[in-house]
Amino acid sequence: MPQQLEMVLRLLLAAALGAIIGFQREKAGKPAGVRTLSLISMGSAMFSVVSIICFPGADPARIAAGVVTGIGFLGAGAILHRQGGVEGLTTAATIWVAAGIGLAAGAGLYIVAPAVTVMALIILILPHKEIK
């Protein structure tokens, strides 16, 4: 049971870190907000946790690779071509980073996951030029 409790804490960490990034995105008026990024991060953490606990002899990198591939499809759906320009690249990248944060939290990287969250927030807050 203590092992499962630690796994729940990893999932809570992943959800919280995703929510932090999602809060910034909602404040910026972007489509992927608190709920979306929390679920992406927590879902990625869940795949990580399940691969570690349920398949101890298996290669956990295979699960991570599957998450990266699946999230790529989700991110691709966020990218739109409009009036000769492209929209949603940052949203797609944020979805991808949130999944990585979830994988890190699920793997028990308690310093790396929050550190990447802070780095992502700094990058998202930096001034930018719209591509048209």
In a domain, 18, yes or no: yes
Query: Considering the domain boundaries, does residue 131 fall inside one?
Result: no
Closest alpha carbon to 97 in 117, 82, 125: 117
Backbone angles phi, psi at 80, to 5 degrees: -125, 145
User: For residue 67, what pLDDT is reported?
Assistant: 83
Structural domain includes residue 13? yes
Residue written as token pair 């990447």: 116
Identify whether 69 is part of a domain.
yes
Q: Which pLDDT belongs to residue 60?
A: 74
Domain that holds residue 49: 2-125
**How many distinct structural domains can be found in the chain?**
1
In a domain, 94, yes or no: yes
Residue 130 placed within a domain: no
pLDDT at residue number 26: 94
Residue 33: the pLDDT is 93
Determine contact, residues 11/102, Cβ cutoff 8 Å. Answer: no
Give the pLDDT of the chain (132 residues) as one tens digit per residue: 688 899 999 999 999 999 999 999 999 998 889 999 999 999 999 999 988 888 878 787 788 788 888 887 777 777 776 777 777 788 889 999 999 999 999 999 999 999 999 999 999 999 877 655
In a domain, 22, yes or no: yes
Residue 129: predicted pLDDT:
72
Predicted local distance difference test score (pLDDT) of residue 89 = 84
**What integer pLDDT is reported at residue 53 of this predicted model?**
84
Rounded Cα gap, residues 93 and 78, in angstroms = 9
Looking at residue 31, its pLDDT comes to 85
Is residue 114 in some structural domain? yes
